[in-house]
């Protein structure tokens, strides 16, 4: 069966510090991968998605970036965090199927920027 | 993608059926209706999807009106663990990135 991992589960970082969140998927090949953010009291916002190694599409301009160095690894990064980067970060995967919008989400990382 | 409209909140008694409505009056012929839910502090969970026929799985049933302009997600015997925000999403089958746009959803509260 497929499993998605995210770490760390929680993170407190000062403004201006760098960020690296990692997501890995097991039990599937060539998945589509996604990063979402959910700010406190707000809906889910799609940040990045990837349909293959090295292929990243950005949905929202910001100081975050994403990379996919391996087929089942997706990394969210920032060189300098802002207060507004606080939120719940979710990674998701979807099978590379013709008509699948069944996305499977990880447990999330709760980031607090102080 | 067609826009969806859901009530912001609903209550349901434990053990009773929860019927969550979704309006998608501008849906087009190749667009599917997807339902997800998000329990507090967890990632969203896929529930069910359908095109025009009613669908049922181990979690819920999806009833789509004949004109496809609205649908209802039914949790037949709601439990306290079903308390969550439920998202109705309409998406076409085309493309290769399968992006989902989550709205504000309906907060379902199941009461004991």
Model confidence pLDDT, tens digit, residues A4-18? 999 999 999 999 999
pLDDT-flagged residues of chain B (< 50)? none
Q: B residues 42-81 near A, CB within 8 Å?
A: 42-46, 49
**Distance in angstroms (rounded) separating the CA atoms of residues A99 and A53:** 21
B10 touches chain A (CB under 8 A): no
In this model, does residue A32 exceed pLDDT 80? Answer: yes
B72: β partners: B21, B63
pLDDT on residue B78: 96
**Distance in angstroms (rounded) separating the CA atoms of residues B109 and B103:** 18
Q: To the nearest whole percent, how much of chain A has pLDDT over 90?
A: 68
- Distance from CA of residue A67 to its chain's centroid? 10
Q: Which SS3 state, helix, strand or coil, does residue A84 take?
A: helix
Contact call for A51 and B44, based on CB within 8 A? no
pLDDT on residue B29: 85
Q: To the nearest whole percent, how much of chain A has pLDDT over 70?
A: 95
Report whether B3 contacts B100 (CB < 8 A).
no
In this model, does residue A44 exceed pLDDT 90? Answer: no
What does the buried/exposed string (b/e) look like for B36-65 if buried means 16 or more CB atoms within 10 Å of the residue's CB?
Answer: bbbeeeebbebbbbbeeeebeeeebbbbbe
- The helix/strand count (H/E) of chain A reads as 0, 11
Residues of B in contact with A88 (CB under 8 A): 41
């Amino acid at each position: 069966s497929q499993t998605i991992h995210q770490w760390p589960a929680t993170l407190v970082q000062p403004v201006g510090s760098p960020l690296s969140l990692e997501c890995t998927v097991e039990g599937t090949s060539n998945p589509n991968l996604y990063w979402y953010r959910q700010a406190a009291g707000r809906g889910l916002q799609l940040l990045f998605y990837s349909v293959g190694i090295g292929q990243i599409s950005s949905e929202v301009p910001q100081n975050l970036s994403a990379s996919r160095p391996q087929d089942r690894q997706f990394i969210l990064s920032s060189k300098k965090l802002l207060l507004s980067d606080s939120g719940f970060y979710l990674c998701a995967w979807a099978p590379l199927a013709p008509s699948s919008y069944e996305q499977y989400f990880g447990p999330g990382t709760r980031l607090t920027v102080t | 993608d067609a826009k969806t409209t859901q009530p912001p909140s609903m209550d349901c008694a434990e053990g009773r059926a929860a019927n969550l409505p979704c309006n998608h009056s501008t849906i087009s012929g190749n667009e599917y209706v997807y339902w997800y839910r998000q329990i507090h502090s967890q990632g969203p969970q896929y529930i069910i999807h359908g095109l025009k026929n009613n669908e049922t799985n181990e979690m819920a049933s999806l009833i789509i009106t004949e004109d496809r302009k609205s649908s209802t997600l039914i949790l037949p015997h709601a439990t306290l663990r079903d308390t969550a925000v439920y998202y109705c999403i309409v998406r076409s089958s085309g493309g290769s990135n399968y992006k989902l746009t989550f709205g504000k959803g309906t907060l379902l509260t199941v009461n004991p």
